[in-house]
Amino acid sequence: MSLAAMVLADRSERLVRFYDRWIGLVTFGAADRVRELVLGEIAPGERLLDAGCGTGTLAVAAARSGAQVVAFDRSSAMLSLARQKADASGVTVDWRQGDIAFPPIGDERFDIATATFALSELSRDMAALAVRRLARALRPGGRLVVADEGLLERPALRLLAAIPRFLLAIGSFFVLQQLAPARRHPWRSLLTEAGLEMDAERSYQSGALRVLVASRPPDLAGRKRPVVALTDVLPRGLRRALLLAAAWIDLPITIQPGVYRIGRPGPDGPVLLTGNFLASVEAVRSALAGLDAYLVVEDTDGWNVWCASDAGLFNAEKAAALFELYGLDGLVRRHEIIVPRLGGRIHSALAALTGWKVAVGPIEARDLPVFLSMGLNPEMRSLQRMYRLPERIRVAALTTIQLPLFLLPLRFIPASTRRPAWRLALLSSWLLPLANDVIPGRTGIVKGTLLGCIAALAGVGTKRVSPQAAVTMLATAPLVGWVYQSSSPVIFWKRLWR
């Protein structure tokens, strides 16, 4: 239900015991009623696959009612608690560890599969892949039951429901460096796209929770998504200019993830991968103007490949999902994909998931034509080309422009105390990007704090700064570092200290 709650449970076995309580809290008690409805779909003696089983509440209840249960989850902490529940209830459940989009079941078949409060933790493409994999795990006539979040029908209720989620999201951001809300997918569309036939749908709390039941026909055939021209989905005119300006200042402007045509590629056309940050896609499109290729655009929440790769948002699993959803294996004869060098860490995992050859391309999109014709040269590997002086000056200017907004509270303290902090902020806004490679620390916050400590100690040591001003400088420095990294293409903005 809540990605933040799931992440907390993943990180600590001490916190996993609070997961069920949190789910009940954010659903105002409706989670138990939803599980009872799902449980009512499971007949005694049926073989059940409980995907993303969490702490095992549904799996244990189903086993108690006579079902033969296989349950899996990616969290070892949750599975540990689930096993304890099963032991306390005296039932047998086949517990396994695995990702919901890649079920650890081999060729096994089931009478019914359930996914309760699990798919909303995934991107839409990953959720679509998970539904397809679960559909294929069913026997003909078997049912898939999805219980998850839906979009509230009334705006006032949407606002009310958002308050507790916002508070937990802020808390998880500072504790876990992760901030990702649950996603509300078009559930009916995902089920029918997978080739399932809708049987029933119910909603609770004005649509906040939905339960859908779909069955597998004898001839299951999921629909392949169409590959369209990239120019069909890119913004145009004034809207394009405004969005590119927003992307220039590093706002996460996105395009729809998918597989697109550049030019008129045939079955021998090259296949390239990037993230769905508008500026990244535009850079690839511009570089390949006049060429024919397929572009796989995976969901990185609108962040550039470097930052998204650093944060785990640019990953092999999302790319593999698009391979299956769009039928890339049958689209081209040569099974080779080019991934950007700044996201090249995924190449081994992507090759293992898809069976394709994965080539790591250049750092900059503008080198793609030469790379496609002549291969990689040493200059294309240089990180210095990515963060050259003009880019560093742009980031320094953006940081300086944003400082008055973020340092507004300084206006409410005495001038003699705030002035040294302001000088430090202005100096740091230029030193951080220009000397990024030599200042120790992985994040802007760490780098900024280090500069603040040096400046404060030097100021107090030379008696040019009062102790009160030094404290203000120390409080200001991490914030300046965060403003810098939120504008930088080389540090993911959500990272705090590591």
Dihedral sign for Cα atoms in the order 292, 294, 300, 306: negative
Residues 395 and 376 in one domain: no
364 and 418 together in one domain: no
Backbone conformation region of residue 206, classed left if phi is above 0, alpha if psi is from -120 to 50, else beta: left
| Residue where one domain finishes, among candidates 338, 364, 382 | 382
pLDDT in tens, 355-409: 999 999 998 899 999 999 887 666 666 666 677 888 899 899 989 988 888 888 8
Residue 221 belongs to a domain: no
Q: Does 31 lie in the same domain as 124?
A: yes
**In a shared domain, residues 364 and 417:** no
pLDDT of residue 262: 97
Domain that includes residue 248, residue range: 228-382
| pLDDT average, residue stretch 450-459 | 94
Residue 493 forms part of a structural domain: no
SS3 272: strand
Please give the mean pLDDT across all residues of the chain: 86
Cα 36–41–42 angle (5° rounding)? 95
pLDDT above 70 covers a percentage of the chain that reads 83
In this model, does residue 255 exceed pLDDT 70? yes
pLDDT of residue 176: 47
User: CA–CA distance from 322 to each of 124, 194, 255, 327, 330 (Å)?
Assistant: 11, 14, 15, 8, 13
CA distance 55 to 62: 13
- The verdict on 393 and 366 lying in the same domain is no
Among 357, 354, 348, 15, CA closest to 176: 15
- 3-11 and 19-26 helices, crossing angle to 10°: 170
Tell which of 324, 355, 382 closes a domain: 382
pLDDT reported for residue 375:
77
Of 329, 353, 382, the position where a domain reaches its end is: 382
- The domain tally of the chain equals 3
284 with 369, same domain: the answer is yes
Q: What is the pLDDT of residues 173-190, one digit of tens each?
A: 554 444 455 677 889 999
C-beta atoms surrounding 427 within 10 Å: 13
> Which tops the pLDDT comparison, 46 or 7?
46
Residue 215 has pLDDT above 50, yes or no: yes
Per-residue pLDDT, averaged over 450-465, amounts to 93
Same domain as 412, residue 332: no
Q: What is the CATH number of the domain that holds 134?
A: 3.40.50.150
Instruction: Write out pLDDT tens, residues 473-482.
Output: 999 999 999 8
- Residues 265, 405, single domain; the answer is no
Q: Is the pLDDT of residue 4 over 60?
A: no
Cα dihedral 137, 139, 143, 149, rounded to 10, equals 10
- Is 438 found in the same domain as 373? no
Give the CATH number for residue 372: 3.40.50.11600
**Same-domain pairing of 373 and 399:** no
Q: Which of 220-224, 244-248, 429-433, 436-440 has the lowest mean pLDDT?
A: 244-248
Cβ atoms within 10 Å, residue 240: 13
Considering only 109-113, 149-153, 465-469, which range has the smallest mean pLDDT?
149-153
- Name the nearest CA neighbour of 77 among 8, 170, 151, 150: 8
pLDDT tens by residue, 85-127: 999 999 999 999 999 999 999 999 999 999 998 898 889 999 9
SS3 172: helix
- The answer to whether residues 433 and 463 belong to one domain is yes
Task: Report the candidate in 216, 49, 197, 41 with the shortest Cα–Cα distance to residue 142.
Answer: 216
Task: Return the pLDDT at 161.
Answer: 61
Residues 6+ apart with CB under 8 A from 467: 460
